[in-house]
Structure 1
Amino acid sequence: MSQIDEIRMQVMWNRLISVVEEQALTLIRTAFSTSVREAGDLSAGVFDARGRMLAQAVTGTPGHVNTMAEAVLNFIAEIPRDQMYPGDTYVTNDPWLGTGHLHDITMVSPSFRDGALIGFFACTAHVVDVGGRGFGADGKSVYEEGIQIPIMKFAERGEVNTDLLRILRSNVREPNQVIGDFYSLAACNDVGHQRLVQMLDEVGLADLKTLGEFIFSRTHTAMMERIAALPKGSWVNEMLTDGYDDPINLAVEVTIGDDNVHVDFSGSSGISRWGINVPLIYTKAYACYAIKCVVAPDIPNNSASLAAFSISSPVNILNAQRPAPVSLRHVIGHMVPDVVLGALAKALPGKIQAEGAGALWNIHISARPEAGAEGRRAEVLLFNSGGMGARPTLDGLSATAFPSGVMTMPIEATEHTGPIVIWRKELRPDSGGAGQYRGGLGQVIEIAPEEGHEFDFSAMFDRISAPPRGRDGGEPGAPGGVALDDGTRLRPKGWQHVPAGRRLMLELPGGGGFGDPGRRSPEAMAEDVRKGYVTGKQP
């Protein structure tokens, strides 16, 4: 390939990324759920005719993007090629074939040009409700957690499956929001297809084969160079998390070979009877993400870069089998990067950040009027983040969603969706672990029902009994806490009640520190005090 041809291919590669970015932005602009519209809890990508991911939108979470890379192959295996038509859109929320729990809807659309299948567009988004017990850990099996949609056609030749919509309306609490999001998902794939065809017309390509081979070959070469530069061997790590009623131990062995990094989760705790289990497809997504953050953060994420990593686990909490409850698979799944990074810290001493809050502090609120009072009912979902661990040369980021990358929902948008008031949302002083570099701060959040209302809420919290650990002499971050404003302590997981007139008080954990606290510069310590990050009092 000549230098001019390589430049041309690189330009088209960049153009392809812009196509999927527009695909993702279409979903954000048209979504009904605040988790998609405000927090960006979604993914979008383009795949070749064999189902290999060519490019992903920058907007999106690793849990969605990396599971989607495998999920598209599951769609292709289920729907025969001779039953795929222009105008089709396929859908599922199967946790083991999609993204790990029922609340995520994955849609895949074949892309045809001049009658020939040239690829697929796929997208995923978290919807506000899927029926069942709601978004929480209380289910004892996946059958209690909501409606299950097998891989099937949402639309065939442009005609929407109205029977599926009727079934959805009868099984969810917020049918207009949910069905609106289904149409948004389908629309974003349509936009991706339209922009791809325009691009191919402009550059004079019939399909994605030539561009795809360029993308995969360049990515593979770059990944092999990065892995070759790593130390070779195996390293282990363990990490304790709160669990539901019993602590959960996560164990990992990371093996770096000549052309592969393998991660094995043998030794982790067994399957829980509560909905915090993780299907392997989701465990893979975050394990690969952790390795890529260290090995090749600047190399585009596609099937070739992911192929350099392999993940295994016996049946346990990180490889839960059907019909285990998995609604809160993100709580344990978001801890996977920290446990993997802990092993890599032994291979690459001094180069890996400390542990952070990890799991999002999601809260699903089911608000209603008090008995005998008038008012409105609503299902409200909030995403909140604790602090990141300190980095080898920088303080940890405060109130930042690592590893998920979702954005904070604006208070105004959240309050608009239901009868709740957020009285306080601010950084939590003294929550970042001390170190040469300080851990990121958590948050303090106060939530109350509007006057004349009460609410039940699903707690999805962790790092309360097992706070984030520091690295290389750094101290742990502050643990989290959940209580009412009268001092009543609440459980970190499960559905609970906030009566009228009371406030729910959340204290989110801070990230661990990095390095000896005695080596922190006087200037940095003075700045912490000036900004109120450190008060000198115990958290």
Structure 2
Amino acid sequence: MNALEKIQRQIQWNRLVAVVEEQAQIMIRTAFSTTVREAGDLSAGIFDLQGRMLAQAVTGTPGHVNSMMESVGHFLAKFPAASMKPGDHYITNDPWLGTGHLHDLTVVTPAFRNGAIVGLFANTAHVIDVGGLGMGPDGRSVFEEGLYIPIVKCFDQGQPNETFFDFVRMGSRTPVELEGDIYSLCACNDAGAKRLVEMMDEYGMESIDPLASYIFDASLTATLDEIRKLPKGTYRGTIKSDGYEAEVTLKAAMTIKDDEIVVDYAGTSGLSGRGINVPAAYCRAYACFGIKCVVAPEIPNNWASLAPFRMEIPEGCILNAPRPYPVSVRHVVGQLLPDLMMGCLHQAVPDRVNAEGSSALWNPPLRGGAQVSGAAAELPDFEIITFNSGGTGARPTKDGLDGTAFPSGVRTMPVEATENVAPVIFWQNQIRADSAGAGRTRGGFGKIMEIGAKGEAEFAVNAIFDRVANAPKGRDGGGDGASGWVGFTDGTTIRTKGYQVVPKGKRLLLKLPGGGGMGDAKDRDRALVERDVADGLVSPAQAKALYGA
């Protein structure tokens, strides 16, 4: 391939990224659920006819993108590409064939040009409700957690599968939002297919296979080059989650070789009887993301750039939950994996790794009305979820980020958006002072949130919080971030996981964790300490005690 051909391939590659980003943005603009349109809890990508991901949208979460990458192969196993027709759309929320729990819908759509199938578009979106117990950890099996959709056609040659939509509408507390989201997912895939055909026409491409080969060869070569720069050896790490019935320990032994990085999770805690278990695909998704952030962050994410990262996940381990174990809130444990990977990589490349952060989202599902209070209900029935985050860990040369989702990457939802669709009031939503771990670079600050129902009515929360008993750790002598706290405004604490009622007249109070610090706090620039004190982020007492300022 000559230089001009390489330039053209690179332009086409960038064009593909633009196509799938437009696909994602259309999903955001047309979605019914606040989880998609406000938080961006989604993924979008284009695949070849072998089910290999060529490009992903910039918008989206690693848990969706990297597990969606595996899911398209499952769709093709049931519906081979040769059997697909224009206007077909296929859907599932199978946790073991998709992205790890029933609240994520994955849709796959074929793209046709001149009557021939040329590629596949896929997306995933988190929806508010799929029935069952709702999004929470209390289920004893996946069958209690909601409507279970196998891989089926939701549209057949442009016509909706009305039997499928009847089941969907009857199986959800929010049928309008759920059905609307499915239409949105199909529409954005159609838009991606249209843009792909326009691109192929413009460049006179009969197939995307030559472009796919270029993308895969370039991505694999670049990733292997970065791996070869790393010091070889085996590096071990441990991180703890608060768990449900008991504390959970995640262990990893990362072996860096010339042509791959292998992670063995031997010694990790066993399966839980509650919905904090993690399907293997979700484990691979977040672990690969954590490695890639450090090893090859500039290389675009696709099938080939992830291929050198291999996971060995023992059976019976909480990171390899088999069907039908409950998995509804698999993110609570799974989103700790990038911190675990960085704990290993810190021993190999300490100048490229962050301190631990809040990690797992603090996204309380809220419910009210007769389904909570029965005949005494003062509110109409509602089901809503709001996405929020604590602080991220300090970086080697920069402070952590405040109230920012890492590793998930979703946006914090504006409280106004939630108040607009549910009878709840956010009385506080502010930075939590003194929550950042001290260090040469400090961690990001957590938040304080105070939530009540209108008229101080009774409502319920499905608690799915972590980093309360196990605060985010600092690195290189940096201090730990503040641990989280869950309770009522009167000081009463409640369980960090599970369905609980907030009584009439009380409000839910959440104190989100802060990120860990990095390096000796005494080495911090005094001007930065003074700035934090002046901004009310660090109290004078903490500045003196931790920074000597």
- TM-score range for the pair, normalised by the shorter chain length: over 0.9
1:391 paired residue number: 395
Q: How many Å separate the matches in 2 of 1:451 and 1:301?
A: 48
Correspondence for 1:530:
534
Alpha-carbon distance, 1:115 to partner: 2.3
What aligned pairs does 1:266-277 form with structure 2 within 5 A after superposition? 266-277=266-277
Please show how residues 54-69 of structure 1 align to structure 2 within 5 Å.
54-69=54-69
Q: Residue 20 of structure 1 corresponds to which residue in structure 2? A: 20
Give the equivalent residue in structure 2 for 1:52.
52
Matched, 1:340 2:305: no
Q: Compute the TM-score of the two structures, normalised by the length of structure 1.
A: 0.98
Distance between the aligned counterparts of 2:376 and 2:86, measured in 1? 53
Superposition deviation, residue 452 in structure 1: 6.0
Deviations 1:362-412 (A, max 9, x none): 100012276546542211110110000111111111111000000011111
Match for residue 37 of structure 1? 37
Please give the alpha-carbon distance, in whole angstroms, between the structure 2 residues aligned to 1:194 and 1:403.
32
Any gaps of 5 or more consecutive residues in structure 2? 544-549
Gaps of 5+ in 1: none
Instruction: Determine the C-alpha separation between the residues in 2 that align with 1:296 and 1:82.
Output: 36
Amino acid at match of 2:499: W
DSSP-derived class of the 2:210 partner: helix
Summarize deviations over 1:239-276 as a string: whole Å, max 9, x none.
11100131000000111110101111111100001100
Distance 2:218 2:82 in 1: 32
Inter-CA distance 373–75: structure 2 relative to 1 (3 Å threshold): closer
TM-score by length of 2: 0.97
Is this contact kept in 2: 1:222–1:299, CA < 8 A?
A: yes
User: What's the offset of the Cα at 1:448?
Assistant: 0.3
**Letter matched to residue 337 of structure 2:** V
Question: Aligned partners of 2:361, 2:388: CA distance in 1, in Å?
Answer: 6
Shift of 1:536: 3.6
Q: CA deviation at 1:153?
A: 0.8
1:206 Cα deviation from its structure 2 partner: 1.1
Aligned to 1:329: 330
Contact 1:377-1:418 at 8 Å conserved across structures: no
The CA deviation string for residues 64-84 of structure 1, in whole angstroms up to 9 with x for no partner, is 000011000111111134431
Number of equivalenced pairs: 539
Give the equivalent residue in structure 1 for 2:499.
495
- Paired residue secondary structure (1:197): helix
Matched, 1:437 2:447: no
Matches within 5 A, 1:7-156: 7-156=7-156
Q: 1:381 to 1:203 in 2, by over 3 A?
A: same
Letter of the 1:78 counterpart: K
Matches within 5 A, 1:137-176: 137-176=137-176
- Counterpart CA distance in 1 for 2:435 and 2:348 is 29
String of CA shifts for 1:199-234, please: whole Å, max 9, x gaps.
Answer: 111111112011111111111111111111111111
1:257-272 alignment, distance < 5 Å: 257-272=257-272
Which deviations, in whole Å up to 9, do the C-alpha atoms of 1:408-460 show, x marking residues without a partner?
Answer: 11111110111000011000000001111111000000000001632111011
1:428 is aligned to 432
Q: Percent identity?
A: 54
**Given residue 403 of structure 1, which amino acid in structure 2 is its aligned partner?**
P
Q: CA separation in 2, counterparts of 1:506 and 1:38? A: 21
Instruction: Note the C-alpha offset of 1:499.
Output: 2.0
Tell me, in whole angstroms, the C-alpha distance in 1 between the residues paired with 2:100 and 2:240: 22
- Give the aligned CA root-mean-square deviation in angstroms: 1.2
Match of 1:461 in 2: 465
> Helix, strand or coil: the match of 1:281?
helix
Q: Residues of 2 paired with 1:351 and 1:95: CA distance?
A: 33
CA distance in 1, matches of 2:496, 2:304: 39
Comparing 122-131 and 208-217, the one that deviates more: 208-217
For residues 333 and 454 of structure 2, the distance between their equivalents in structure 1, rounded to whole angstroms, comes to: 32
Q: Distance in 2 between matches of 1:210 and 1:164?
A: 37
Measure how far apart 1:7 and its partner are: 1.1
SS of the equivalent of 1:459 reads strand
Range with greater deviation from structure 2 (149-158 or 135-144): 149-158
8 Å contact 1:430–1:536 — kept in the other structure? no
Pair 1:353-2:357 in alignment: no
User: Is the contact made by 2:253 and 2:265 (CA closer than 8 Å) also made in structure 1?
Assistant: yes
Question: For structure 1, which segment, 287-296 or 209-218, has the greater mean C-alpha deviation from structure 2 after superposition?
Answer: 209-218
